[in-house]
Structure 1
Amino acid sequence: MSQTIKILLVDDVPQNIVALDALLSRPGVEALHAYSGAEALEQLLQNDIALALVDVQMPEMDGFELAELMRGSPRTRHVPIIFLTATDRDAMRTFRGYEAGAVDFLYKPFDPHILRSKVEVFVQLQSQKQQLAEQLEAVSQMVRTNEMFIAVLGHDLRNPLSSIMASAEVLRRVSDPQRVLASAERIRGSGMRMAKMIDQLLDVARMRSSQLVLTPTDVDLLPICEAIIGEFESPGQEKTVVLECMGDTVGCWDADRLAQVLSNLIGNALHHGDKSVPVTVRVDGTRRHELRITVTNAGEIPETARAHLFKPFRSGATAPQNAQGLGLGLFIAHELVALHLGRLEVRSDATNGTVFEIILPKRAGPAQIRAALSDRGMFGRGV
C-alpha cells in the first residue's frame, strides 16, 4: 500500500500557509508546514518530501538560500521546488530562482487552478515512484526467495541422493538378500525424503502463484488422525503415538490438507522429541463451534528457536542440527491452518514438554475460506 505523499509549505506568514493548505489538501496528500528556512531544513531531513512550495522573501534565510542548501545535501537535492513570490516580475530574479534549482516560479496572486495542477503533477510522480519502489522490493524479495530455494534444495538433497547412490553401489556388488533388502529400504526412504522436499516446494510455489486449491467438505477428523498415526506405527513395536479423542470431531475442512498438517506435526514430534516418551495426540471436539487438536512430545524447544518455527527456511542457528528437511513443513502447516480460518500455536517448557495446538472453526464455509485465500494473496479456483 502506497504511503501518504508529503508536500512542504514554507512561508514566514502563517495566513499564507493556511491558504495553501486549504487549496492543496486532499486524501492521500499531507501538507507539512515550515515558517522559516531552518524549520524547512528540519522537515526535509525528517520526511520524504515530494514537492516544496517555498516563499522567496523570508527573514534570516530567504528562499534562494534555502534552495542552495537543499541542493548541497544528498538527501534533499532531488526535491523539486516551486518558488512563490509577491514581488514584481523581474527577469534576473526569476533566472536566479531557476539557477538555485527551482522547477517553477509563480508570482502572487497566482491562479489557484494552475497551482493545484502543477502540484498534482509532482504528487503523481511521487506516487509512481512509491509504486516502483514497492514493485522493486517485491521482485527483490522474490529473487532472494528463489535463490534460497535453489541453495537449500541443492544442499538438503545431497544427503538422500548420496544414500541412494551408495545403496545402488551396494546392490551392484553383493548378492546377500538381507543386504539387498536393507539397501532397497534405504533407497526407498531417501526417495520419499526427496519427494517430500519437492512436494513442499511445490506447495510454497502454489501459494505464491495463487494456485493453491482447497476443497472443504464435511469430514470426521478422528479417522484421519488414526490413519496418520498408523503410518508412523510399526507392527509388533511399542506404541510411539497415543491418541485421545472426545466430543464431536466432524466439521467442514479440506481433509487432505489437514492430513498434511497432522502428518507434519506428528512426524516432527517423533523426530525431535524424547524417544522414551510417546507422543500424545488429543482431539477435542467438545466445543460447539471449534475443534482443538494438540500434539505433545517430551522435550523443550529453545525460546530463540520458537520465534522462527513458522518461518520458511529456518536458519541453521535455530533449526535442529539433525533436521532432514527444507524448514518448510511448519511454515506450510501454519499457512494451511490459517487458510481454514484457524490458528496453529506452540508452547514449550521443560516441565510440560512441547505442545503444538491447532484451533479450527468447525464450519468455515467455502466463501469464508475463499476470502482467506484472497487476503493472503493465495486465491485459487478450487474453492
Structure 2
Amino acid sequence: MNLDNRHPAPRPKVKCLLVDDLAENLHALSALLADDEVELLQARSGTEALEILLVHDVALALIDVQMPEMDGFQLAEMMRGVQRTRDVPIIFVTAGSSDRHRQFQGYESGAVDFLFKPIEPHILKSKAEVFFQLWRQKQQLAWELQERTNSLRIQEMFTAVLSHDLRGPLSAIQLSAKILEKRSDEDAQTIGGRIARSAKWMGRMIEDLLDVTRVRQGHGIPITRTPVDLASVVQGVVQERLVLSPDRHVNVEAEGDLHGSWDGDRLVQVASNLIGNALRHGTGDTVTVKLDGRHADRVVMSVLNDGHIPAELLPSIFDPFRRGQRQSARTEGLGLGLYIVQQVVQAHGGSIQVSSEPGQPTRFDVRLPRAI
C-alpha cells in the first residue's frame, strides 16, 4: 500500500507554555509569539503551570526564573521528575544578570537556554521556532509510524484471510488431480501428476504465508514435538525433490544417532527448502547433505552446493520476501523459504548459519537440540 497516496498528516496547533507571575510580561511574550499555528498557554504560577501540563502537550515552556512560592528552577525540577513533562524543552527568562552560577543552576534543572530581559524579539521568535519545528517533525514521524503500523496490520490480516480462502479451491484442484492419476489413459495420468505436484507446491506457499503472518503477529511458529528420525525425513525430501530435478544428484552422508524430539512436518519444511534452494541455485550437478548425530545433545544438518552467494546478500539472506541477484529459469516460491527455515529452527531452540566463500561450497548448517 502506497503511503504517498493517503490523506496528509493532520497539522495540529503547536502549544507553547508561558509562565510568569506578572500579567504584563505574559502579554508581552504573547504579543511576540503570536501566530495562527501556535496556541499560547499562560500561567501565573508554578502550580498553575503544572495543572496546565497535566492537560496539554506543549512543544516549549518559557519560564520566568524569579517567581514567588515556586521559582522557575523549582518548577523545572518538578517537570523533569514527571514522565509526561520530563522531555519538554525549557527556556528560562530572567531579568537578572548573566550570573554563571545561576546559569549552571538553570541548566542542571533542565533548561535548554536562557533569555535575558529586555528580550530581543527576533532572537525569541527564532529560538522558539526551532522547538516548534522539532515538535511538528516529531508529530509527523509518530503519525507516519502509526500509519505504517496500521497498513502492516491490514496487510497481514489480508494475507491470512487470502491464504485461508485459497485452501478451498486448492483442495478441489488436488482432488481433480487424483482422479486424473487414477485414469487408465497414460496422458491423463501424466497431466494429473503434474497438477498434483503444482498443487502441492502451491499448498506449501500458502502455508509459508500463514507462517509469516503468525510470526509477525507475535504467535511464532507452532511446533508439535514427537520422536523423529532426521535421516528418514531427509531421505523422503530428497526423493521428492529429485522427481522435480531428475538430472541432479543428492548425496546424503549420515553418521551417529539422528533421532530427537522434533516436529517432523516442520523439519520437512527445513530440509525441503534448503535442499530445493541448493538444487535450484547450485552450479554443479550434485548437492551434499551431511547429517551428524555424534553429539549427545544435538544433531547437525549441513547442506552444501557449488553455488556462491554474494557477500552483500549474506546479511539479509534470511529476510522475508528477499530475492537473490541470480534467478533460476523457473522461479519458485515467494522468497519466504529461508525465513521460514530460520523461524522453524529457532522454534526448536536451534540455530542456522550460512557461509559462502569464493572457491568453497555454499554451506547451510542447522543445529538442532535433541530436546528442550
2:210 matches 1:202: yes
Q: Is the Cα–Cα contact under 8 Å of residues 12 and 58 in structure 1 kept in the other structure? A: no
Corresponding position of 2:264: 255
In 2, the alpha carbon distance for the partners of 1:308 and 1:341 equals: 21
2 CA distance for matches of 1:216 and 1:354?
Answer: 30
Backbone CA RMSD of aligned residues: 4.7
Q: 1:182 to 1:213 in 2, by over 3 A?
A: same
Q: Which residue of 2 aligns with 1:142?
A: 153
Unmatched tracts of structure 1, length 5 or more? 38-51, 80-125, 365-383
Matched, 1:213 2:271: no
Partner residue of 1:326?
334
Distance 1:73 1:55, change over 3 A: closer
Equivalent residue letter for 1:23: M
Q: 1:22 corresponds to which residue?
A: 77
The total of aligned residue pairs comes to 277
What is the match of residue 265 of structure 1? 274
Counterpart of 1:58 (choices 116, 119, 136) is 116
Give the distance between the partners of 1:132 and 1:314, measured in 2 at CA. 28
Q: Larger relative CO (CA 8 A, sep 6+): 1 or 2?
A: 1
Match for 1:141: what amino acid?
L
Distance 2:130 2:358 in 1: 60
Aligned amino acid, residue 25 of structure 1: R
CA contact (8 A) 2:92 2:114 kept: no
Given the superposition, is the C-alpha separation of residues 21 and 57 from structure 1 closer, same or farther in structure 2, using an over 3 Å criterion? closer
Cα deviation for residue 358 of structure 1 reads: 0.8
| 1:363, distance to aligned residue in structure 2 (A) | 2.4
Partner of 1:99: none
2-side partners of 1:139 and 1:307: how far apart? 28
TM-score by length of 1: 0.56
Counterpart AA for 1:70: A
Aligned counterpart, 2:305: 297
Q: Distance in 2 between matches of 1:72 and 1:284?
A: 63
CA contact (8 A) 1:56 1:62 kept: no
- For residue 344 of structure 1, the aligned residue among 345, 352, 363 is 352
Contact 1:56 1:64 in 2 (8 A): no
Please, what TM-score do these two structures have when normalized by structure 2?
Answer: 0.58
1:217·1:254 contact (CA, 8 Å) conserved in 2?
yes
Secondary structure of 1:251's partner? strand
Unaligned runs of 5+ in 2: 1-56, 94-109
Contact 1:11 1:17 in 2 (8 A): yes
Q: Which letter does structure 1 place at the counterpart of 2:255?
A: M
**Equivalent residue number for residue 295 of structure 2:** 287
Amino acid at match of 1:267: G
Instruction: Select between 62-71 and 184-193 the one with higher mean Cα deviation.
Output: 62-71
Q: Distance in 1 between matches of 2:329 and 2:115?
A: 69
Task: Say which SS state the counterpart of residue 203 (structure 1) adopts.
Answer: helix
CA shift in 2, pair 1:53/1:343, >3 Å? same
Q: CA deviation at 1:335?
A: 1.0
Letter in 2 for 1:224: V
Paired residue for 2:3? none
Superposed, 1:1-383 pairs within 5 Å as 19-26=74-81, 28=83, 30-31=86-87, 58-59=116-117, 61=119, 66=124, 70=128, 75-76=133-134, 135-143=146-154, 179-209=187-217, 210=219, 212-233=221-242, 240-276=249-285, 278-315=286-323, 317=325, 322-364=330-372
Q: Secondary structure at the match of 1:222?
A: helix
The amino acid across from 1:197 in the alignment is M
